[in-house]
């Protein structure tokens, strides 16, 4: 059996460390980091995420500003709110929850958030900085996944990694981060040929495709480290539902050296990394080195 990577415990430590940094920012610098979250519409999964983000932001001692807008909100009104938050000195981070209603252009909205207040790492300038090795803001889920990998394996240099999925939110930034760690990276997607063989070569497997339990145990090289980014709700035979990842945990955990569970693996890391990014932006806006807050 493999080691089960405990993302819940790791993220709790990360949040406790951030809460200490927030206390120092308040006491020494008179700054309370503020994170604004905008939710447009009623998407049930988004509502759950946004509630959780608000709760954990407050628990870390930060100010949480929630803006819930009607599904029919115009793009113009949404852009006006973003402009107001860009110019609000109490707000250090702005997150627009995705997906947005179809009448709103995601690209325009993402890039309307000031790059220095972007906590998702989706703004073009942060995407560019990540790809060129600069100091930007790194998307939360890939950042959390990389933290778990480094904690598990130490140095990743020279490891063979496969990222399954090429989304802008996870796959592509994950590729950039693993390259930065000097891994040899394959990025696989729906058109990849011999995916199972490609997967079997990898010391590190990151699954982010959104297909329930797609990656089976016999796709995994014995001893490999498996990071399951998927969160899929499936119906069981008795009609109840359960959460599963993109990896078939039952068979994969028989072969892998270490594996993240779903839930309790990558999921809790995402919000912890969001808080990390918000504190990071509050520090940068004020010319403070985040690592010096100890
Ligand atoms: N919707 C699902 N994941 C994310 C995320 O990481 N950031 C934002 N803004 N929306 C999301």
283-292 pLDDT, tens digit each: 999 999 999 9
| CB-ligand 1 contact for 140 (6 Å cutoff) | yes
- The band of 78, judged by pLDDT with boundaries at 50, 70 and 90, is very high
Active site residue 97: yes
What are 172-184's pLDDT values in tens digits?
Answer: 999 999 999 999 9
Rounded to whole angstroms, how far apart are CA atoms 32 and 26? 5
What are 12-42's pLDDT values in tens digits?
Answer: 999 999 999 999 999 999 999 999 999 999 9
What confidence score (pLDDT) does residue 35 get? 98
* Alpha carbon of residue 153 to chain centroid: 20
Catalytic residue among 21, 56, 117, 120: 120
The predicted model gives 139-151 an average pLDDT of 98
CATH of 29-114, one of 3.40.1080.10, 3.40.50.10860, 3.30.1050.10, 2.60.40.10: 3.40.50.10860
DSSP the chain: -PEEP-HHHHHHHHHHHHHHHHHHHHHHH----EEEEEEES--HHHHHHHHHHHHHHHHTT-EEEEEEE-TT--HHHHHHHHHHHHT-TT--EEEE-SSPPTTS-HHHHHHHS-GGGBSSS-SHHHHHHHHTT-S----HHHHHHHHHHHHHHS--TT-EEEEE---TTTHHHHHHHHHHTT-EEEEE-TT-TTHHHHHHT-SEEEE-S--TT-B-GGGSPTT-EEEE---EEEE-TTS-EEEE-SB-HHHHTTT-SEE--SSSSSHHHHHHHHHHHHHHHHHHHTT--GGG--
Rounded to whole angstroms, how far apart are CA atoms 159 and 153? 10
Domain extents in the chain? 29-114, 140-267
Compute the distance from residue 122 Cα to the ligand 1 centre, in Å.
10
Is the per-residue pLDDT at 134 higher than 90? no
The predicted model gives 161-178 an average pLDDT of 98
pTM: predicted TM-score of the whole model, two decimal places = 0.97
Active site residue 53: yes
Active site residue 120: yes
Is the per-residue pLDDT at 270 higher than 90? yes
Atom of ligand 1 nearest to the CA of 99: 1
Angle at 208 between CA 205 and CA 211, to 5 degrees: 115
What confidence score (pLDDT) does residue 133 get? 86
What confidence score (pLDDT) does residue 1 get? 84
Q: Hey, whose CA ends up nearest to atom 9 of ligand 1?
A: 97
Atom of ligand 1 nearest to the CA of 270: 6
What confidence score (pLDDT) does residue 294 get? 85
What are 200-239's pLDDT values in tens digits?
Answer: 999 999 999 999 999 999 999 999 999 999 999 999 999 9
- The CATH class, in words, for 140-267 is alpha beta
Domains 29-114 and 140-267 share a fold: yes
């Amino acid at each position: 059996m493999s080691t089960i990577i405990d993302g819940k415990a790791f993220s709790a430590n990360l949040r406790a460390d951030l809460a200490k940094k927030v206390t120092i920012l308040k006491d020494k610098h008179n700054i309370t980091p503020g994170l604004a979250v905008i939710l447009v519409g009623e998407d049930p999964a988004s509502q759950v995420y946004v509630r959780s983000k608000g709760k954990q932001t407050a628990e870390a001692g930060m100010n949480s500003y929630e803006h819930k807008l009607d599904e029919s909100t115009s793009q113009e009104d949404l852009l006006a709110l973003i402009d107001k938050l860009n110019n609000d000195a109490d707000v250090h981070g702005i997150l627009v929850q995705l997906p947005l209603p179809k009448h709103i252009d995601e690209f325009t909205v993402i890039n309307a958030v000031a790059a220095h207040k972007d906590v998702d790492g989706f703004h073009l300038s942060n995407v560019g900085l990540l790809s060129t090795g600069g100091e930007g803001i790194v998307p939360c889920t890939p950042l959390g996944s990389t933290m778990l990998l480094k904690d598990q394996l130490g140095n990743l240099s020279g490891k063979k990694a496969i990222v399954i999925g090429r989304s802008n939110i996870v796959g592509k930034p994950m590729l950039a981060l693993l390259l930065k760690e000097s891994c040899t990276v394959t990025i696989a997607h729906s058109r990849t040929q011999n995916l199972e063989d490609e997967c079997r070569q990898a010391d590190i497997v990151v699954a982010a495709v959104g297909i329930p339990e797609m990656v089976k145990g016999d796709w995994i090289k014995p001893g490999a480290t498996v990071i399951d980014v998927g969160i899929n709700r499936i119906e069981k035979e008795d009609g109840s539902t359960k959460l599963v990842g993109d990896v078939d945990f039952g068979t994969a955990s028989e072969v892998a050296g270490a594996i993240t569970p779903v839930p309790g693996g990558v999921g809790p890391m995402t919000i912890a990394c969001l808080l990390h990014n918000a504190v990071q932006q509050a520090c940068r806006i004020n010319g403070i080195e985040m690592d010096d807050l100890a």
